[in-house]
Amino acid sequence: MSAAAVVCNGQGHFLSHHSASSTETLFLTYMMSQTALTSNQKPINRPIVLASIDRSMSKPSASSVDRKSGFCSETRTFRSLRPPVLLPPDALPLSFTSYAFSLLPSPLPSNPALLDAATAASLSYPDLLARVRSLSYSLADRLALSKGDVALVLSPSTVHLPVLYLSLLSLGVVFCPANPVSTPAEISHQCRLVAPVSVAFATSSAAPKLPPHLKSVIILDSPQFHSLLLASDHERPAASSSTTAGGESGVLQSDAAAIQFSSGTTGRIKAAAVPHRAFIAMAAAFHQYAPRRPAAEVTLLAAPMFHSLGLAAVCGGLVLGRTTVVMESPGFAKMLRAAAKHRATTLLAAPPVVVAMARSEEVDKYDLGALEAVSTGGAPVPEEVARRFMARFPGVQLRQGYGSTEGGGIATMISNEECSHLRSVGRLGNVEAKLVDVKTGKALSVGQQGELYVRGPAVMIGYVGDYQANESTFDSEGWLKTGDLCYFDNEGYLYIVDRLKELIKYKAYQVPPAELEHLLHSIPDVLDAVVVPYPQEDVGQIPLAFVVRKPGSNLSEAKIMDYVAKQVAPYKKIRKVLFINSIPKSATGKTLRRELATRALGGSRL
């Protein structure tokens, strides 16, 4: 009997347009055995408002959609120009873990699933499935974790972290990844946002930062966790190794899978609840669009797994049967060394890494001949930097993408032709979008700038326990407001103009910092630059540039302001320049603009 037929016994049907592999049969059969372990199920601890709003994409007539731009005249929205992503029926009980493993080929790939960049320790695909099975049982049996519990995870990226994530997801436990370099005060605040936390998983170095009131803490680099990870078959009751199918564990696709912290660099931190359906949609898109040659594909993950960029990359690599090389600690030289040592074909990293690769002499010390693509997201790569990168690596695709914790993957680049649109972040994926005039609320068309709204299967459920934030983030039709000023060209490419909150208000004008930053990056002696608003009583705000010069450069404030002034309208001129040794950025590559603005106001040492 096929896995699809097994699931049909309890649920009616499984995946449309999908035939099950023997891998799926084995794993789904195991997952059905978790019913007894999760019988005391409970809802997510704190209610999320707006979760009942229908956020499904509209279904206009095909004739109303322009085949070149994707603009729909009937709904005044933009549609994806890619083939539709095939998803399981949304009413089908299904965890992301079950779905992800159902996509693996049979027999399982012979290449490693996960590989430690520093030690070369690896985890094969059979070992990955076995350890997820063991840990899932241990978490339910020994720790009594079940659907609706919240697990805080405080750890750098390791080969065992995906095992933990997948195990928690298989039980319906909501995992909550946090940055291990956060301060104790920040972690305490995060715990309050998602309270009550049922269990915390942390490394021995990060555990002292946890609030003392947490009753259950598992140290990830301890014998205790190792024993959970390697629970042997004889420890499990017979019922846990054979039963019927994958949905009866009670996990629904609409259930929260993860709570990710968002907006820490641009405003007060919020806890975004992301459903299993969002992860399933992401995996389905990877599986449908990506090329099939797993044994030859090695992805070096230089983005942390507590961030949506790193999390999406590791999940995508696993469902495609590729090898993902994991870096536990950051560092540009470490990354280059790992890319050369492990013959990485794809590098996934934040935009500052792309800037460094385009400019640093350190690159010349390493053989990156196997590299075929660099994928990046989190912030736009300046056009001049992209050109320098492509000139230095002529055979390497620079794939820019655009998404968010709240909205999932919104746009991306796939082909060489798409990657040639340097200022764009790609074309829409499995999502519907519209552009809204920020003053009138009117839906806009091709070439017009407005705030980008999105909706689709990868959009979050909402912010946990934050009614005000949900009210301001979603409209009455379930559209997620991204806060980004954007436009589409007549070929369906999306362009990010700037964050609406970051626009500089000079007199009656709005000045986008990104435009000025593009110009600054085109100056040969500029290594990095950021433009922030600086208050000035007579005009409101002026553009202030923080600039990192090349070592030994005598580039002056006057030369910079004159260079920019010749290329922009008078109201966009940079009117103040401060030189700085480095631009402060988060672990995921986002510029800490508020920190720079505060420094400028306070006159603190740069």
Spell out the SS3 assignment of 479-539. CEEEEEEEEECCCCEEEEEEEHHHCEEECCEEECHHHHHHHHHCCCCEEEEEEEEEEECCC
CB hemisphere CA count around 426 (13 angstroms) = 28
318 three-class SS: helix
CATH number of 509-602: 3.30.300.30
Distance separating alpha carbons of residues 489 and 495, to the nearest angstrom: 8
The DSSP output letter for 36 is G
pLDDT digits (tens, 9 = 90+) for 5-27: 222 222 222 232 333 333 333 33
Residues of the chain with pLDDT under 50: 1-52, 238-248, 264-266, 604-606
Burial bucket for residue 297 (CB in 10 Å: 0-12, 13-18, 19+)? buried
Q: Are the C-beta atoms of residues 463 and 270 closer than 8 Å to each other?
A: yes
DSSP state string for 451-481: EEEEESTTS--EETT-HHHHHHHB-TT-PEE
Which residue intervals of the chain bear CATH 3.40.50.12780?
A: 96-488
Distance CA 160, CA 154 (A): 13
- 114 dihedral zone (left: phi>0; alpha: psi -120 to 50; beta): beta
Task: Give the CB-side neighbour count of residue 248, counting CA atoms within 13 A.
Answer: 20
The Cα 71–Cα 77 span in angstroms is 6
The set of long-range contacts for 227-234, using a CB threshold of 8 Å and a minimum separation of 24, is 227/138, 228/134, 228/135, 228/138, 228/139, 228/142, 228/143, 229/131, 229/134, 229/135, 229/138, 229/160, 229/163, 230/131, 230/134, 231/134, 231/135, 231/137, 231/138, 232/134
User: What are 179-218's pLDDT values in tens digits?
Assistant: 898 889 889 999 999 999 999 999 999 999 999 999 899 9
Q: Are 452 and 484 in contact (CB under 8 A)?
A: yes
Q: How confident is the model over 440-469, as pLDDT tens digits?
A: 999 999 999 999 999 999 999 999 988 888
480 with 58: CB under 8 angstroms?
no
Residue 355 — φ and ψ, nearest 5°? Answer: -60, -45
Q: What pLDDT shows up at residue 55?
A: 61
- Superfamily in which the 96-488 domain is placed by CATH: ANL, N-terminal domain (3.40.50.12780)
Contacts of 497 (CB under 8 A, 6+ apart): 449, 484, 485, 486, 487, 512, 514, 515
For residue 352, what pLDDT is reported? 82
Q: Start-end ranges of CATH 3.30.300.30 in the chain?
A: 509-602
Global pTM value: 0.81
